Structure 1
Amino acid sequence: MSAIVFDLDGTLIDSAPDIRIIANTVLGKRDLPPLTMTQTRSFIGHGAGHFVAQMMAANGFDRASTGFDATHAILLAEFTSLYETTFEATTLYPGVADTLDILAGLGYRLGLCTNKPALATQAVLKHFGLQDMFAAVVGGDTLPEKKPDPAPLKLAFDKLGAGAHAYVGDSEVDADTAQAAGIPFALFTEGYRKSPVDALPHMVRFDDFSALPGLMQRLKGAA
């Protein structure tokens, strides 16, 4: 039996609209300028703490200033609280639910490895009825390390107890994580990456989830 692990934001779900709403709610309480969607997408990938730090920097907060860490902690707490309950503008990418069902039917054990905090991850999975689809879920605060450190991805595959087959993600962070872990990478090209497709190391790429089962079977046959 083989295992496939997925990233979440920008891979299975388009959460940027809600993340922008959350960020601008936190900023608006302080009469600070809102983030654009372009800024929001560019800040996603390294976890909530990194996002809030980028959000602050975009509004003129000096990372080297004495009060930065204390302000960051306050804003992060507000951001995370909203992150666990805000799903109205988040959507699954087309074909995700059917593709996960097909892959499970083909015998793959499925897991999730994301830099999104664990509680927010579980909440959004429950919102979309996917909480029972993944036999292993590793969030951004499950370990001290976050992607692109390979430790979270290796933990996800260890939890699945099956041979590693591929990591599916959308970004530079995901590509670097897979490479560091020595896991084949499948690139979803419609997510939040900032670089050209060819700049990201990958075994296969796709822009339509209906193509993924066939790609995984071909990878399996070539192994």
Structure 2
Amino acid sequence: MGVTRPSAIVFDLDGTLVDTAPDLAAAMNHVLALHGRRAVPLDRVRHMVGRGARVLMARGFSETGSPAEDRVIEELYGEFLDYYLKNIAAASRPFSGLPGVLSRLEGEAVALGVCTNKPESAAHALLQALDLGGHFGAVIGGDTLPVSKPDPATALETLRRLDADPAAAVFVGDSETDILTARAAGLPVIGVSFGYTEAPVETFGPDAMIDRFDELPAAIEAVLARR
């Protein structure tokens, strides 16, 4: 017999809750320009994000010429973060329908958390800038724990801080990293089709897919019923 009601929903952030690609692209292209590189188009950047800013900068350099040496990546990351934190919500916006579905879930006493590879301070800053911070009882960033996604400890710590039963929780994300995190944590996972990924997220085998946030409540009910 399946679970009838969720204890908690754990969301990825970039590409799941918020369309952050424009600001991530601006920060990456700012750093590329500092080093004499050309800009990477936004549509291309959408397929490059999802594994953290260090990987994004490494990919940006490989995309625009010779790859950056490992010893240089930390410098590039610092330049990226300095610009990004000053412009974190210049063009980033919640995906359509998000505020309504968050309010609905809260009204049903479902705990909400964020599990992201973004630095925790940046995740909090973004959520606050977009008036979303009050919805989430826990935020785990890529630097909160000694490990980051896809290590299952990230999702499980999010649930621990929410005081939520993992047996009735669901993960929502847009990437292979999110699918792997949820699987390793033993959580059903819903993929969103509108996020950032190198390949369509459905190819990684989520338990359900949504194209819009108004489809999320039904998808949650469906995946929990199969538990």
TM exceeding 0.5: yes
The match for 1:194 is 198
Output one character per residue of 1:22-53: Cα deviation in whole Å (capped at 9) or x when no partner: 11111112221111223312221111111112
Q: How far did 1:197 drift?
A: 4.5
Distance (Å, rounded) in 2 between the aligned partners of 1:139 and 1:197: 21
Distance (Å, rounded) in 1 between the aligned partners of 2:155 and 2:51: 14
Q: Which moved more, 1:85-94 or 1:107-116?
A: 85-94
Contact 2:191/2:202 (CA < 8 Å) preserved in 1? no
2:158 paired with 1:169: no
The match for 1:4 is 9
2:186 paired with 1:182: yes
Of the three residues 137, 144, 158, the one matched with 2:160 is: 158
Q: How far did 1:69 drift?
A: 3.2
Q: Which moved more, 1:98-107 or 1:23-32?
A: 23-32
Output one character per residue of 1:195-217: Cα deviation in whole Å (capped at 9) or x when no partner: 23541221111111011122223
Of the three residues 31, 40, 48, the one matched with 2:45 is: 40
Q: How far did 1:106 drift?
A: 1.0
Distance (Å, rounded) in 2 between the aligned partners of 1:19 and 1:196: 20
Distance (Å, rounded) in 2 between the aligned partners of 1:27 and 1:194: 21
Output one character per residue of 1:80-103: Cα deviation in whole Å (capped at 9) or x when no partner: 112222111111100011111111
Q: How far did 1:222 drift?
A: 4.5
TM-score of the two chains, using structure 2 as the length reference: 0.90
Q: Which amino acid aligns with 2:44?
A: Q
Query: Alignment RMSD, CA only?
Result: 1.6
The match for 1:91 is 93
SS across alignment from 2:86:
coil
Q: Which amino acid aligns with 2:152?
A: P
Question: Structure 1 residues 196, 129: closer, same or farther in 2, change over 3 A?
Answer: closer
Distance (Å, rounded) in 2 between the aligned partners of 1:221 and 1:58: 44
Distance (Å, rounded) in 1 between the aligned partners of 2:214 and 2:31: 37
Q: How far did 1:166 drift?
A: 0.5
The match for 1:78 is 79
Equivalent residues, number = 219
- Residues 27-66 of structure 1: pairs in structure 2 closer than 5 A: 27-62=32-67
Output one character per residue of 1:145-171: Cα deviation in whole Å (capped at 9) or x when no partner: 221122211111111111121000011
Q: How far did 1:126 drift?
A: 0.5
Unpaired runs of at least 5, structure 1: none
Distance (Å, rounded) in 1 between the aligned partners of 2:148 and 2:43: 23
Q: Which moved more, 1:156-165 or 1:92-101?
A: 156-165
Distance (Å, rounded) in 1 between the aligned partners of 2:140 and 2:47: 22
Contact 1:85/1:123 (CA < 8 Å) preserved in 2? no
Distance (Å, rounded) in 2 between the aligned partners of 1:39 and 1:212: 27
Output one character per residue of 1:125-153: Cα deviation in whole Å (capped at 9) or x when no partner: 01111112111100011122221122211
Q: Which moved more, 1:175-184 or 1:190-199?
A: 190-199
Q: How far did 1:123 drift?
A: 0.7
SS across alignment from 1:43:
coil
Unpaired runs of at least 5, structure 2: 1-5
Distance (Å, rounded) in 1 between the aligned partners of 2:14 and 2:197: 11
The match for 1:215 is 219
Distance (Å, rounded) in 2 between the aligned partners of 1:83 and 1:120: 9
Q: Which amino acid aligns with 1:174?
A: D
Distance (Å, rounded) in 1 between the aligned partners of 2:141 and 2:35: 29
